[in-house]
């Protein structure tokens, strides 16, 4: 997969010598790719991303991966802030009202495979904007196919069996969710893993984060071994 350069001025240096360990997925929420790219390249907007993928699978690179694009904003993941310095941002052209087309998903998968190879990243590093900023963001939204990415080894998917609702917040934070109100964590978990669900917290919600926390902690321990 080859990305076409389309430089944006909206970037800086990654702080503290940090390198990418996360990929944050967004949707543009705009009517067209051209409109989104114009915004992301406008100095007055003070926003950008490393990549934009349009509906037919075209990929533009706006910011070098080594640089700090301005895509994530306030939020945290795995107990750390300044997500911009620790991540690569990918904008998917989508109005939030329709599914993500097959060519776009194929292009995303190819791009993620390249990022994984370049930065030694694993599937647990691919997160939603709504994961790291649940009080502010809902993208890439309920129509994004996270399970497809997981089946391709490019994200994670829970293998839920049983969960303890009393441990929901503890397990969610162990996986990576930030220290925000429990109802915001529940909203973010459901956006990604149970978009059809509604109502109060259930054992099914708790089982999802329990499994993710267990496997995330195993992965971290393995990496240190």
Please count the CA atoms within 13 angstroms of the CA of 47 that sit on its side-chain side.
16
Q: For residue 125, what are its two tokens?
A: 């590093």
pLDDT at 221: 42
| Integer angstrom CA distances of residue 93 from 96, 100, 107 | 9, 8, 12
Q: Where are the domains of the chain?
A: 1-156, 158-225
How does residue 162 score in pLDDT terms, banded at 50, 70 and 90? confident
* Per-residue model confidence (pLDDT) at position 161: 73
Task: Assess contact for 140 and 92: CB atoms under 8 A.
Answer: yes
Residue 162 or 101, more confident: 101
- Closest CA relative to residue 203, chosen from 156, 158, 167, 174: 167
What are the tens digits of pLDDT across the range 104-134?
Answer: 999 999 999 999 999 999 999 999 999 999 9
Average predicted confidence (pLDDT) for the chain: 94
Nearest to 171 by CA among 208, 135, 133, 126: 208
CA distances from 137 to 47, 88, 141 (A): 15, 17, 9
Q: How many CA atoms lie within 13 A of 196 on its CB side?
A: 1
55 φ, ψ to 5°?
-70, -25
pLDDT in tens, 183-199: 999 999 999 999 999 99
Q: Is the pLDDT of residue 225 over 60?
A: no
- Please give the average per-residue pLDDT across 154-162, as a whole number: 88
Q: Which residues are catalytic?
A: 91
CA pseudo-torsion sign 158, 176, 191, 188: positive
For 39-48, write each residue's pLDDT tens digit: 999 999 999 9
Longest dimension (CA), the chain: 49
**pLDDT band for position 1 (cuts 50, 70, 90):** confident
pLDDT of residue 222: 40
CATH classification for the domain delimited by 1-156, as one of 3.40.80.10, 3.40.640.10, 3.40.50.620, 3.90.1150.10: 3.40.80.10
Question: Does residue 223 register a pLDDT over 50?
Answer: no
């Amino acid at each position: 997969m080859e990305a076409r350069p389309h430089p944006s001025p909206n970037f800086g240096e990654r702080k503290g010598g940090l390198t990418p360990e996360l990929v944050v997925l967004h949707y543009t929420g705009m009517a067209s790719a051209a409109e989104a790219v114009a915004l992301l390249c406008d100095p007055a907007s003070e926003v950008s991303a490393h990549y934009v993928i349009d509906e037919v699978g075209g990929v533009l690179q706006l910011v070098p991966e080594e640089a700090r694009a301005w895509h994530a904003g306030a939020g945290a993941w795995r107990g750390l802030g300044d997500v911009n310095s620790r991540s690569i941002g990918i904008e998917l052209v989508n109005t939030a009202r329709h599914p993500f087309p097959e060519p776009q998903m194929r292009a995303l998968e190819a791009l993620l495979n390249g990022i994984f190879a370049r930065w030694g990243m694993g599937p647990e590093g691919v997160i939603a904007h709504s994961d790291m900023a649940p009080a502010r963001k809902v993208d890439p939204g309920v129509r994004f196919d996270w399970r497809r990415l997981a089946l391709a080894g490019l994200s994670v998917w829970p293998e839920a069996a049983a969960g303890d609702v009393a441990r929901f917040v503890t397990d969610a934070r162990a996986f990576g969710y930030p220290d925000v109100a429990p109802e915001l964590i529940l909203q973010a978990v459901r956006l990604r893993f149970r978009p059809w669900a509604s109502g109060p917290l259930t054992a099914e919600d708790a089982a999802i984060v329990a499994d993710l926390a267990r496997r995330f902690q195993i992965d971290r321990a393995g990496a240190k071994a």
